[in-house]
Amino acid sequence: MPHTVSSRTVVRDALNHRQPARVPMDFGSTAVTGMHCSCVAALRDHFGLEKRPVKVHEPYQMLGLIEDDLLRALGVDVDGVHGNKTIFGFANEQWKHWRTPWGQEVLVSTDFVTNTDPATGDIYIHPQGDATAPASGHMPYDGYFFDAIVRQEPIDEDNLDPADNLEEFGLLSPQDLSRILQALQQVQGNARARVMGIPGAGLGDIALVPATFLKHPRGIRDITEWYVSLSMRQDYVHQVFGKQTDIALENLRTLHDAIGESIDVAFICGTDFGTQTSQFCSAATFRELWKPYYQRINNWIHSHTQWKTMKHSCGAVEVFINDFIESGFDILNPVQCSATGMEAEHIKKTYGDRIVFWGGGVDTQKVLPFGTPEEVRQQVLHRCQVFNKNGGFVFDAIHNVQARTPVANIVAMIDAVHEFNGVKR
């Protein structure tokens, strides 16, 4: 049975807390709602699609680009506008072949430059495609994605300069804007909703702190030192966040002038605040260091556009949800229901009329990779039943679908969403 209501309509209804005609679904629109390239290849085979290498559009996590034919086969309702540079500082241009450690032939950017340690087989990737710069990412010989390499210069407490932690944040160049417009043009004819990441708005995102995209990063780049700074160097962090927000607002003006209302959702940041059972900082620290700057960004967007804004944070973030809402965020992702305080029924009842849950559809730590297809089906049906009432829900897994997830389980997840929607496949 074909869909009778457009993808963009059901997504917009969900975002505005109206009961949609069906549960909308996202896979692949952002770096936190995607699939490992090996899973993308397995799905292409399952659906009998044209055999061709998967493009790795996010090399840090080795996420595969879910192209239009697979989006249609899955029944996805959202397009990602992937116009920015990767976390290793290069654009996805002039694709070339690369064989992964697990033997998969993929396509990567021409500036995806690596070397292999002959003794261990470990792979190292270089920022901006410059093999003469120290490697900024490391993939073990038996790994499936890269880890950031911390390159911390000695810290001189008396001479810390916030400008050093702002080196990567600048105004959009004509070339940056051209890439974004080209990416938008690629999805222009589709009936799906659109999500775009906002450049430079990820305040204190721990994935960005090591600056894997810079050849010789300065400032506070060690992850432990950054967390220490949240308590011991708050004036420094305020200066970084303040200037970063000024730059982000200027880029938002430029971006909106160029694209207008061509997108539906602005993905603001991926800064994680939760662990499995607790938080990386207190609610008081969040209100002191992050909330004022998030409010400035979200207030500008809501005053000048129709875009909805998305906040990503893994873990036990129930204690922050009211603050996320007051910060102006419309959407929370990935909705880690297995974390303490994040039970689906509780957060839907408590916050579901004030914030959209984008994710939470199935547990990607245990059920999806290690359960049976029937266990996957049952959890998906339950989560759709809980979250879909009165809208405010876009189905996605809890974060990216990881390597070695059985394709039968991924298909069971997709089929369960369509089953809930009453669509025969």
Phi, psi of 148 (to 5 degrees): -70, 140
pLDDT of 399: 97
| 1, pLDDT greater than 70 | no
| 312, pLDDT greater than 70 | yes
Count of residues in the chain: 425
What are the distances in angstroms from CA 140 to CA 107, 123, 137, 157? 20, 6, 10, 34
Q: What residues contact residue 333 under an 8 Å CB cut-off, 6+ apart?
A: 30, 32, 33, 310, 311, 312, 313, 357, 358, 359, 396
Spatial distance between the Cα atoms of 34 and 39, rounded to a whole number of angstroms: 10
* Pair 78, 68: CB distance under 8 Å: no
Please spell the DSSP secondary structure of 8-32, one letter per residue: HHHHHHHHTT---SS--B-SSSSTT
Please spell the DSSP secondary structure of 371-421, one letter per residue: S-HHHHHHHHHHHHHHH-TTS-EEB--SSPBPTT--HHHHHHHHHHHHHHT
| 91, pLDDT greater than 50 | yes
Residue pointed to by tokens 């061709």: 52
- Going 20 to 346 to 402 to 325, the CA torsion angle's sign is positive
What are the distances in angstroms from CA 187 to CA 4, 8, 93, 361, 363? 20, 12, 17, 25, 29
Mean pLDDT (whole number) for 225-244: 97
pLDDT band at 157 (very low <50, low <70, confident <90, very high): very high
pLDDT of 425: 72
| 101, pLDDT greater than 90 | yes
DSSP H/E element including 234? helix 234-259
Spatial distance between the Cα atoms of 321 and 328, rounded to a whole number of angstroms: 11
Mean pLDDT (whole number) for 300-308: 98
pLDDT of 2: 53
pLDDT of 423: 86
For 170-193, the pLDDT digits (tens) are 999 999 999 999 999 999 989 999
| 241, pLDDT greater than 70 | yes
What's the whole-number average pLDDT of the chain?
A: 97
Give strand pairing partners of 97: 107
pTM metric for this prediction:
0.97
- Going 215 to 218 to 224 to 226, the CA torsion angle's sign is negative
pLDDT of 362: 98
